[in-house]
Amino acid sequence: MKTHSVRFRDKIQIIIVLMLTISISICGTWLISKSFVSAKTQRIDAAQNAQRMAMYTLISTTGNNQWDNNKLSSTLRVLERQVGQRFKLTDENGDVIYQKQYNDQSFQSGMIEKVSDDKMAWRIQINSFGEHEIQTASAIRNGDKLYYLESIYPIESVYKSRDYMISSFLGITLSLIAIGVFLARKVSFWITGSLTRLAETARAISGGDLSKRVNIKSDDEIGQLADDFNRMADQVSENITKLENAMQRQEEFMASFAHEMRTPMTSIIGYADLMRSQELPPDMRRQAANYIFTEGKRLESLSNKLLDIIVLQKTKINKQKCKMSSLIEQVYGLLEKRMTEANIKININCDDSTWFVEPDLFKTLLSNLLDNARKAMPDGGDITITAKKEADIWKVEVKDTGYGIPKEEIPKLTDAFYRVDKARARASGGAGLGLKLCSQIVKLHNGIMSFSSEQGIGTNVTVILRKEGI
């Protein structure tokens, strides 16, 4: 069953309208209540003041003489016309001295029991017409006689004013809510517009358009989110590009590996089939066996170098403090005969410094560099080895006088199976793995390897080994 979730934009609108409604309701209710209580308090004070004025008027009219009921009634009638109140005067026996309408049910019982000479009583009540009024009662003593004066003060206008304010407030509230809904919609579109563009960009990127970016220029949190999103997209695009390049290199590696395997295997199978199917003269048999042996050794070299590269990528080496000139002399001794046969002269300029290296790996590194230099000089030439310690580094340079390398080819030198001149390298037994192996050895020694070359003049390979932590 498909459920429909509320959009973030709609949530913002709902929240804004709810907050507006609650705020207006609380403020309006408080103001109306405050106004009503204040008006009602004023009417209560007015009713009590009118009650006191009536008391003082009765006392001042009659003085301390014997009270005349007719005079009291006349005074109260005048007061009713002046102040708009209704009065009721009774004596201590409960006999009514004055009441304009004897059937007036507004004067409810129970009030005179609450008063004394210095205490006034009052209450708000609803009359038979449903109107609010204040009933007030007080005691008046004249000589040894006690009288009770009660009055009715109308306050229905206060309640009508409150009802009018409530109805007006409801109308104003509805109008403000309608305006609030309109403004909330505008605000929500303004707030979520950036998020909408962000979502559209995310969908475009997920659809394959890695060049898509969010164009939001602001200093708020959404602007920061957009910047973070763009940086993330840049990183994702960069990582995908790296993965694609890695996959391309892997495909090229596999194609090159298959090609390197196929060439010697074709020769081995061909000559083995020739020796198996025919009786060959001794010279031809020897030649065929020599081809098989040579190509087999080439496959052995290829597999060993691949194995070395794979193992080195997962290896932590144990370095020893070695005298570097001695290691270089050992490598020279191993290659001297081959170099002499190739009409290549090696010049060594090395100081007596020591460095922490893995001896066997370092000799493999130098052997490969010298072997590459040899292959670059098929007609003979010179190789110069310069090695010395400089501050916190140890540097060795291998310079040859070979045919050189084009500048655009230099960044590819450490790629597996890469060869500048494929035909010449294959003829010399190369598989394009030597510099890849060298690069891995230099990396394990916390070093860097760089190349400089000029065609027709030669190539210079520089290896710089750094101390750990530098």
Looking at the chain, the whole-number percentage of residues with pLDDT higher than 90 is 19
Res 384: pLDDT = 93
Rounded CA-CA distance 424/401 in Å is: 17
Q: What's CA 157's distance to the chain center, in Å? A: 61
Q: In this predicted structure, which of 80-84, 131-135, 207-211, 357-361 has the lowest mean pLDDT?
A: 207-211
* Lookup: tokens for 325: 């000139």
Q: In this predicted structure, which of 281-295, 334-348, 387-401 has the lowest mean pLDDT?
A: 281-295
Question: In this structure, how many other beta carbons lie within 10 angstroms of the beta carbon of residue 26?
Answer: 10
Whether residue 432 has pLDDT greater than 60: no
Whether residue 169 has pLDDT greater than 50: yes
Domain range list for the chain? 8-160, 213-314, 317-466
Tell me which H or E stretch contains 191. Answer: helix 156-206
Q: Which of 47-61, 225-239, 251-265 has the highest mean pLDDT?
A: 47-61
Res 159: pLDDT = 93
SS3 category, 149: strand
What are the φ/ψ torsions at residue 129 (nearest 5 degrees)? -90, 5
Question: Do 387 and 395 contact (CB within 8 A), yes or no?
Answer: yes
Res 333: pLDDT = 83
Q: What's CA 44's distance to the chain center, in Å? A: 62
Q: What pairing do the DSSP bridges indicate for beta strands 344-350 and 381-390?
A: parallel
pLDDT band at 254 (very low <50, low <70, confident <90, very high): low
Res 136: pLDDT = 92
Whether residue 210 has pLDDT greater than 50: yes
Rounded CA-CA distance 260/75 in Å is: 134
Query: Which residues are CB-neighbours of 376 under 8 A, at least 6 positions away?
Result: 400, 402, 403, 404, 458, 459
**Single-letter amino acid, residue 302:** L
Rounded CA-CA distance 212/204 in Å is: 7
pLDDT band at 470 (very low <50, low <70, confident <90, very high): very low
296-308: average pLDDT: 65
Rounded CA-CA distance 292/288 in Å is: 6
Res 400: pLDDT = 92
Whether residue 427 has pLDDT greater than 50: no
pLDDT band at 418 (very low <50, low <70, confident <90, very high): low
Whether residue 462 has pLDDT greater than 90: yes
Whether residue 239 has pLDDT greater than 80: yes
Q: What share of the chain is helix, strand, coil (3-state, %, to 5)?
A: 55, 20, 25
Q: Terminus-to-terminus CA distance in the chain, angstroms?
A: 62
pLDDT band at 30 (very low <50, low <70, confident <90, very high): very high
Query: Which residues are CB-neighbours of 134 under 8 A, at least 6 positions away?
Result: 43, 44, 47, 122, 123, 124, 125, 152, 153, 155
Q: Give 161 or 444, the one with higher predicted confidence.
A: 161
Show the beta-strand stretches assigned E in 127-250: 132-142, 145-154
Res 252: pLDDT = 58
Q: Give 144 or 74, the one with higher predicted confidence.
A: 74
Residue that the structure tokens 């493999």 belong to: 364
Considering the domain 213-314, what is its CATH architecture?
A: Orthogonal Bundle (1.10)
Average pLDDT over all residues of the chain = 81
Report the candidate in 406, 374, 372, 423 with the shortest Cα–Cα distance to residue 259: 423
C-alpha distance from residue 307 to each of 14, 261, 443 (Å): 67, 15, 17
What are the φ/ψ torsions at residue 217 (nearest 5 degrees)? -110, 95
Whether residue 419 has pLDDT greater than 80: no
Res 37: pLDDT = 93
118-137: average pLDDT: 89
Res 14: pLDDT = 87
pLDDT band at 426 (very low <50, low <70, confident <90, very high): very low
Rounded CA-CA distance 77/79 in Å is: 5
Res 443: pLDDT = 84
Whether residue 103 has pLDDT greater than 70: no
What fold characterizes domain 8-160?
Beta-Lactamase (3.30.450)
Whether residue 314 has pLDDT greater than 60: no
Looking at the chain, the whole-number percentage of residues with pLDDT higher than 70 is 84
C-alpha distance from residue 364 to each of 88, 144, 370 (Å): 127, 136, 10
Whether residue 102 has pLDDT greater than 90: no
Rounded CA-CA distance 46/39 in Å is: 10
Rounded CA-CA distance 325/353 in Å is: 8
C-alpha distance from residue 279 to each of 136, 147, 253, 283 (Å): 146, 159, 40, 12
Query: Which residues are CB-neighbours of 347 under 8 A, at least 6 positions away?
Result: 382, 383, 384, 385
What fold characterizes domain 317-466?
Heat Shock Protein 90 (3.30.565)
pLDDT band at 237 (very low <50, low <70, confident <90, very high): confident
Res 81: pLDDT = 85
Q: Give 55 or 420, the one with higher predicted confidence.
A: 55
Report the candidate in 318, 328, 325, 388 with the shortest Cα–Cα distance to residue 358: 318
